[in-house]
Amino acid sequence: MSLIVHKYGGTSMGSVERIQNVAKRVAKWMRAGHQVVVVPSAMSGETNRLLGLAKELSANPNPRELDQIASTGEQVSSGLLAIALQDQGVDAVSYTGWQVTVHTDSAFTKARIMGIDDAKIMKDLNAGRAVVITGFQGVDPEGNITTLGRGGSDTSAVAVAAALKADECLIYTDVDGVYTTDPRVCEDARRLEKITFEEMLELASLGSKVLQIRSVEFAGKYKVKTRVLSSLTDPLIPLEQEMKSGTLITFEEDSTMEAAVISGIAFARDEAKITVIDAYQILGPIADANIDVDMIIQNQSVDAKTDFTFTVPRAEYQKALDLLKKSVQSHIGAKDILGDAKVSKVSVVGVGMRSHVGVASKMFRTLSEEGINILMISTSEIKISVVIDEKYMELAVRALHKAFELDQK
Ligand code: ADP
Ligand code: ASP
Ligand code: MG
């Protein structure tokens, strides 16, 4: 008998039929003698719908109230799943984050999990119940409901698995694993049997939304065995087959790993770039406003003044620009501020880069051959990112995918 955590995303929970299929799959695992905790997301589109209602009422809605609203999507899907499980003859109970309790800090809309009480869950599991726990939410020390950031149900599931010392965390989604790049952008993308934790962390942080980055961090910190697999297969396929499907995140490179230099390509479509010409210091006011600054380049000129260029998520572009313009008038004294809200970031990721040279030159040559101008570059030990004009993003992903032969095993 193993203790397994299942996570089902929005598409996987997207209709009554899909919820019935989830219940059938969970019932199959229970019949095989396993203890199962299920963490569902809201039905697809529901979180956007709820947040959209708030946006209709206010251009700047209060984050506490946003969490109060957004968390309800998962409450509904959890209750529905418990009913579907009971209808399959499985004894099941659903809990919200505050009933479990999932403790978080008070950073509304992007809270961090601080701890999860396991007593109630273990009691139910030991009584033979399937336990359904809402994804995406928790409760802060003052008793306020919080949410974990978009895509946060992945993190709920891995954190629950860590707290329960589960044998495995299975992330069921609408693709059958982690691919060399988003299969919706590149039709030659190929599923990886395994991916190292480090590479998954980079891919997630550079824009691949198949897993929320914090879920990968949790998996690494607590060594949670995590697998990404499809929820859209026949729910009654043999367990042995299902257990080997999808993509396993591994903590060590082993001989069965593909010996590729590059394992995957990630992209972040909605970026923006700001350049401040001839200034002393600029990032203070941006940091104070809690805006995520990503890539930064700074060039020093002869008179000891500096040009800064940095990127921010496009959603924060206007706010960042307004703030800078305000502080320029007061104390920075920059000559000019230039902005470009239509850029994207494309990154190649692979632990093989450590032992291979020439990855950067191949990347730059490939983009140049496609006539794509590189606006910014940033590198780390296992990744190279470039900022380019948004209109070339998909072309860049496909060209790099081919150049690094990711379509071939
Ligand atoms: P869920 O609702 O199950 O959480 P998401 O939409 O959050 O699902 O994540 C799954 C999606 O991630 C896929 O449908 C796919 O378009 C996208 N994706 C991006 N990069 C990758 C990748 N490298 N491999 C697989 N899927 C990816
Ligand atoms: N329902 C939440 C969202 O749409 C959490 C999740 O799906 O993981 O972001
Ligand atoms: Mg997701």
- What is the whole-number distance in angstroms between the Cα of residue 408 and the centre of ligand 2? 33
Whether residue 46 has its Cβ less than 6 Å from ligand 1? no
Indicate the top mutation candidate among 109, 150, 155, 215 to test ligand 2's pocket, ranked by most ligand atoms within 8 A of CB: 150
What is the reported pLDDT for 329?
Answer: 63
Is residue 49 predicted with pLDDT exceeding 70?
A: yes
- What is the whole-number distance in angstroms between the Cα of residue 284 and the centre of ligand 1? 35
Whether residue 11 has its Cβ less than 6 Å from ligand 1? yes
Whether residue 138 has its Cβ less than 6 Å from ligand 1? no
Which residues, judged by CB distance below 6 Å to any ligand atom, belong to the binding site of ligand 2?
9-10, 41-42, 47, 73, 135-136, 150-154
Whether residue 135 has its Cβ less than 6 Å from ligand 1? no
Band (pLDDT 50/70/90 cuts) for residue 399 is very high
Could you tell me which residues come within 8 angstroms of residue 66 by beta carbon, excluding any fewer than 6 positions away?
A: 51, 54, 108, 109, 147
Q: What phi and psi, each to the nearest 5 degrees, are found at residue 167?
A: -75, -30
- What is the whole-number distance in angstroms between the Cα of residue 258 and the centre of ligand 1? 22
Atom of ligand 1 nearest to the CA of 12: 3
Band (pLDDT 50/70/90 cuts) for residue 258 is low
- What is the whole-number distance in angstroms between the Cα of residue 46 and the centre of ligand 2? 9
Vertex 209 angle, CA 364 and 308, to 5°: 50
Band (pLDDT 50/70/90 cuts) for residue 301 is low
Report, as an integer, the average pLDDT of 103-107. Answer: 97
Distance of CA 204 to the CA centre of its chain: 5
Centre a 10 Å sphere on the Cβ of residue 390 and count the other Cβ atoms it contains: 18
Atom of ligand 2 nearest to the CA of 150: 9
Is the CB of residue 292 less than 8 Å from the CB of residue 312? yes
- What is the whole-number distance in angstroms between the Cα of residue 144 and the centre of ligand 2? 19
Helices marked H in 93-180 — which ranges? 97-100, 119-126, 153-163
Is residue 336 predicted with pLDDT exceeding 90?
A: no
Report, as an integer, the average pLDDT of 55-72. Answer: 96
* Residue having the nearest C-alpha atom to atom 5 of ligand 2: 151
Centre a 10 Å sphere on the Cβ of residue 362 and count the other Cβ atoms it contains: 18
Q: What percent of the chain has pLDDT over 90?
A: 82
Is residue 257 predicted with pLDDT exceeding 60?
A: no
Indicate the top mutation candidate among 41, 74, 75, 212 to test ligand 2's pocket, ranked by most ligand atoms within 8 A of CB: 41
Whether residue 9 has its Cβ less than 6 Å from ligand 1? yes
Which of helix, strand or coil describes residue 249? strand
| CA 400 – CA 347 distance, rounded (Å) | 9
State which H helix or E strand residue 72 sits in: helix 72-87
Atom of ligand 1 nearest to the CA of 185: 16
Whether residue 184 has its Cβ less than 6 Å from ligand 1? yes
Whether residue 210 has its Cβ less than 6 Å from ligand 1? yes
| CA 334 – CA 30 distance, rounded (Å) | 64
Distance of CA 258 to the CA centre of its chain: 24
- What is the whole-number distance in angstroms between the Cα of residue 42 and the centre of ligand 2? 6
Ligand nearest to the CA of 10: 1
What is the reported pLDDT for 280?
Answer: 67
Which of helix, strand or coil describes residue 226? strand
One-letter-per-residue 3-state SS of 13-39: CCCHHHHHHHHHHHHHHHHCCCEEEEE
In angstroms, the Cα distances linking 223 to 117, 180, 212, 353 are: 19, 23, 16, 24
Q: Sheet holding 137-139: strands in order across? A: 113-116, 102-104, 137-139, 145-147
Hey, what amino acid is at 326?
K
Band (pLDDT 50/70/90 cuts) for residue 299 is confident
Indicate the top mutation candidate among 196, 202, 209 to test ligand 1's pocket, ranked by most ligand atoms within 8 A of CB: 209
What is the reported pLDDT for 283?
Answer: 75
* Residue having the nearest C-alpha atom to atom 9 of ligand 2: 150
| CA 263 – CA 190 distance, rounded (Å) | 10
What is the reported pLDDT for 172?
Answer: 98
Q: What's the chain's average pLDDT?
A: 94
Q: Which long-range contacts (CB under 8 A, 24 or more apart) does 282-288 make?
A: 282/308, 282/324, 282/327, 282/332, 282/334, 283/308, 283/310, 285/323, 285/324, 285/326, 285/327, 286/312, 286/320, 286/323, 286/324
Calculate helix-pair angle for 213-222, 153-163, nearest 10 degrees: 10
| CA 317 – CA 335 distance, rounded (Å) | 20
The token pair that represents 386 in the structure block: 């470039």
The token pair that represents 109 in the structure block: 């809309």
- What's the DSSP call for residue 193? S
What is the reported pLDDT for 252?
Answer: 79
Indicate the top mutation candidate among 12, 47, 218 to test ligand 2's pocket, ranked by most ligand atoms within 8 A of CB: 47
- What is the whole-number distance in angstroms between the Cα of residue 320 and the centre of ligand 3? 27
| CA 150 – CA 322 distance, rounded (Å) | 25
Domains and CATH numbers, the chain: 3-252 (3.40.1160.10), 264-403 (3.30.2130.10)
